[in-house]
């Protein structure tokens, strides 16, 4: 089974990388971008029998810093 985990900073947490991307886009002539939030995608190739609960536990313990980040899980 494959799982994809999307990790993003929670609303209200400053995103300096996103701000740097927004600034760079403006410098390259891409106007009209008012904000950028940068995150990460983690793709997992899981052994047979793994469950969404297993992936959630991985996120809670390692893949996301749940104090400042939120995450969502896609199974496929």
Q: 3 pairs with which residues across the strands?
A: 44, 75
pLDDT digits (tens, 9 = 90+) for 43-76: 999 999 999 999 999 999 999 999 999 999 999 8
The pTM score is 0.86
State which residues form the domain around 16.
2-75
Q: pLDDT tens across 7-35, in order? A: 999 999 999 999 999 999 999 999 999 99
Helix (H) or strand (E) holding 22: helix 16-27
Terminal-to-terminal C-alpha distance of the chain: 6
Total domains in the chain come to: 1
CATH number of residue 27's parent domain? 3.30.1280.10
């Amino acid at each position: 089974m494959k799982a994809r985990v999307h990790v993003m900073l929670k609303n209200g947490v400053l995103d300096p990388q996103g701000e740097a991307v927004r600034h760079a886009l403006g410098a390259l002539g891409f106007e009209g971008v008012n904000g950028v939030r940068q995150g990460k995608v983690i793709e997992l190739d899981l052994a047979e029998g793994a469950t969404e609960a297993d992936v959630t536990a991985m996120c809670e313990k390692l893949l996301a810093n749940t104090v400042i980040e939120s995450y969502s899980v896609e199974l496929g």
